[in-house]
Amino acid sequence: MQDSQIIRTEYSDVMKKSYIDYAMSVIIARALPDVRDGLKPVQRRTLYDMHELGIRYDKPYRKCARIVGDTMGKYHPHGDSSIYEALVVMAQEFKKGMILVDGHGNFGSIEGDGAAAMRYTEARLAKITQDAYLADLDKDIINFLPNFDETEKEPEVLPVRVPNLLVNGAEGIAVGMATSIPTHNLCEVIDAVKAYMKNDEISTKQLLKYIKGPDFPTGGIVVNKDDLLNIYETGTGKIKLRGKVDTEELKGGKKRLVVSEIPYTMIGAGIGKFLNDVCALVETKKTTDIVDISNMSSKEGIRIVIELKKGADAENLTNMLYKKTRLEDTFGVNMLAVANGRPETMGLKKIIEHHVDFQFELATRKYKTLLRKEQDKKEIQEGLIKACDVIDLIIEILRGSQSVKDAKACLTAGRTENIKFKSGISKKMAAMLRFTDRQAQAILDMRLYKLIGLEIEALMKEHEETLANISTYEDILNNYDSMADVIIADLDRIKKEYGRKRRTAVENAEEAVYEEKRIEEQEIVFLMDRFGYAKTVDAATYERNKEAAGAENKYILSCMNTGKLCVFTDTGKMHQIKVTDLPFGKFRDKGLPIDNVSNFDSTKEQIIYLCDAEQLRFAKLLFATRQGMLKKVEGTEFQVLKRTIAATKLSEDDAVIAVEIITDNLEVVLQSKGGYFLKFPAGEVPEKKKGAIGVRGMKFKKKDELMHVYLIGEGSETKAPYGDKEIDLGRLKAAKRDGTGTKPRG
């Protein structure tokens, strides 16, 4: 049996170390982009794999399943869905400032439709990706690392020539941190980079002369321009976004509102939510000026049309859409990225600084490689030129040699002992030859046609070009300004070829002010059936249909149309409903489920009591629970602004069974499930705060519990069912609270 070593350690230390390792793995290797190329590992690996597969912009499309499978097998062993989702997003024009993948097939829509399965869709690299993200990989400009199983090499970072982190933005949730970087205009970002390169003391405020603000692919309007300086200095903040709404005049004095651009945050399900929110504004009578809404969006762009009544105030309605829907939304900025192997929140200038440093590093490595190649060419060219001058001697050496080794030794070191010469002069001249190894090999490999006069001229011209290139590359490597000029020229070329106009407007807009039409206060009647569908009707309509209303509805309540209703549930909660949120109309209208206009959940709660909030102003409420706990609470404690509050505190496995308005001149009768009745004065129920459990109202036998609570006045004839007959509660003998009660005689 082999000896085993048991290491004893604190469990919390192991958990802490393991969790930190996991967290850092997610942060660095999954969720956050690198500041240098602005790409997450999955994006970088997918683009590099497409490059390796030869799926260039000028080559045919290939199935996405092929790309995903190859990427997963070679570089990213984290499941095909994450790779395909990353591939799809890089091909969606409405999500990226510059698409990096040219998709062919169904890659989803701005309205939230998902992409087709990867076995149906095809893709290839976009031209800018090939040109500005993957160029010069053969020039040793980046480091390559072993992949997960050390069978392949993958790039540590891609040699991206533009500040991709700003151009395409980023979104990612790591462990304990998240990144959210908006997209920007390529031309503006390039101008800002050039300005920084010319003056690295430039301030963020000066950079904002070039970068006006975010430029979202969906357009829209940034309305808090003055906040941008602080956002770009700190790397965090909130950008207020609005959709673009135009007013179109129609025949007959009518108007319609047309939404042609949406906030970036509305991409996907947000458009459907916006349409539903507008419909809800109409249904709840928040506005009566909207006649119809239709979504006419297509591949050409967004077009949501809202038809208005004649004489409607279009400007006021536009402000209502900003205030009441997601047509005005907030984009949270947190410019977090991996810099020097660590997550860091950076301002605009810091991101540009990292990008410029990376560009100089790329250029240095590129031109060192090019210089080395040109120097190698120069060495060979000089050898061939020298060889042309003594070509007769070289031919004599070759003819007199017994082997290639002897010939090469003569050319490089002047060794003539194994070579037959025609004359002593030739032997003396051969002894003086000192070609380098490369030059000697090039001479041995040279074909005879190279001795033609024109070929020799071409060699001389090529040598001049090589010398010029060496001079240029040395100047670039030794002179900051020369290297900066090369980088700037490359940026200008990219800007000219791929730049486009800004789509998002940036301005300081006034707060949207919506003046709600004042509702004329009137008394109405609330009706709710046993299925939870509620509505309100005017008092006259109710009076005409009083009998039918009583038969069809579980709750009937008079209230003011400007008030609120309070719903107390068995879970101890109180939900408030604004009466204006309920549909007001005809008696035969179906109404709305109260779940839709409040936080009440009919699948988890039951209504115990429903009343007008105004009733509670001068009242006290009795609370009774299944375990027999009682208390009185001042009604004013329930006059709150919140939609939902805890109305009472409950013990474990307890539930509210009754909530009633109580006065001290009443008597309380408790009826248990086991058939016991206890009657006592209401004054014996103590007054408590809503956060209290209360006091015991009745002692129960084993497995018994409270079933009903009755409040009776003096001399009243309130009857309660008991078995197959009824009990007159007024005739029960009065006792004290917290008794066991009595069982009526059969």
Please give the model's pTM, rounded to 2 decimal places: 0.74
Query: Is the confidence at residue 1, as pLDDT, over 50?
Result: no
Query: Is the confidence at residue 683, as pLDDT, over 60?
Result: yes
Query: Residue 91 class from Cβ within 10 Å (0-12 exposed, 13-18 middle, 19+ buried)?
Result: buried
Residue 420: per-residue pLDDT: 85
Question: Which residue ranges make up each domain of the chain?
Answer: 32-160, 244-326, 354-497, 518-609, 619-634+651-746
Fold of 244-326: Gyrase A; domain 2 (3.30.1360)
Do 45 and 154 meet the contact criterion of CB atoms below 8 Å apart? yes
383 pLDDT band, cuts 50/70/90, is confident
Tell me which of 19, 22, 120, 480 is the catalytic residue.
Answer: 120
Query: Is the confidence at residue 108, as pLDDT, over 80?
Result: yes
pLDDT (average), residues 19-40 = 84
Q: Mean of the per-residue pLDDT values for the chain?
A: 90
Tokens of 103: 């998709």
C-alpha distances (whole Å) from 47 to each of 117, 133, 170, 288, 510 are 19, 9, 16, 52, 43
**pLDDT over 90, % of the chain:** 64
pLDDT (average), residues 336-359 = 95
Query: Is the confidence at residue 69, as pLDDT, over 70?
Result: yes
Do 172 and 38 meet the contact criterion of CB atoms below 8 Å apart? no
Q: Which of 77, 102, 78, 73 has the alpha carbon at shortest distance from 90?
A: 102
Q: Hey, is 380 helix, strand or coil?
A: helix
pLDDT digits (tens, 9 = 90+) for 123-158: 999 999 999 999 999 999 999 999 999 999 999 999
Query: Is the confidence at residue 515, as pLDDT, over 70?
Result: no
Tokens of 616: 């509670």
**Nearest-angstrom CA–CA distance, 281 and 278:** 5
**Nearest-angstrom CA–CA distance, 106 and 359:** 36
Query: Is the confidence at residue 475, as pLDDT, over 70?
Result: yes
Q: Interior CA angle at 374 toward 368 and 380, to 5°?
A: 140
Q: Interior CA angle at 551 toward 550 and 556, to 5°?
A: 30
pLDDT (average), residues 359-379 = 94
* DSSP helix, strand, coil percent of the chain (3-state; round to 5): 40, 25, 40
Residue 314 parent element (H or E):
helix 314-324
pLDDT (average), residues 405-427 = 85
**Nearest-angstrom CA–CA distance, 636 and 616:** 6
453 pLDDT band, cuts 50/70/90, is low
746 pLDDT band, cuts 50/70/90, is low
Sole residue written with tokens 């071409």:
458
pLDDT (average), residues 477-505 = 94
Domain 32-160 in CATH 3.90.199.10: yes
CATH architecture of 619-634+651-746: 6 Propeller (2.120)
| 1-5, 276-280, 517-521, range with the lowest pLDDT | 1-5
Query: Is 120 an annotated catalytic residue?
Result: yes
DSSP summary character for residue 95 = T
Three-state secondary structure of 333-345: EECEEEECCEEEE
Do 733 and 679 meet the contact criterion of CB atoms below 8 Å apart? yes
DSSP summary character for residue 723 = T
Q: Interior CA angle at 691 toward 685 and 696, to 5°?
A: 35
* CB contact set of 615 (below 8 Å; sequence gap of 6+): 635, 661
Residue 454: per-residue pLDDT: 64
Q: Do domains 244-326 and 354-497 have the same CATH topology?
A: no
588 pLDDT band, cuts 50/70/90, is confident
**Nearest-angstrom CA–CA distance, 121 and 109:** 14
**Nearest-angstrom CA–CA distance, 645 and 642:** 7
The hierarchical CATH code for the domain 354-497 is 1.10.268.10
Q: Which of 613, 625, 703, 705 has the alpha carbon at shortest distance from 659?
A: 625
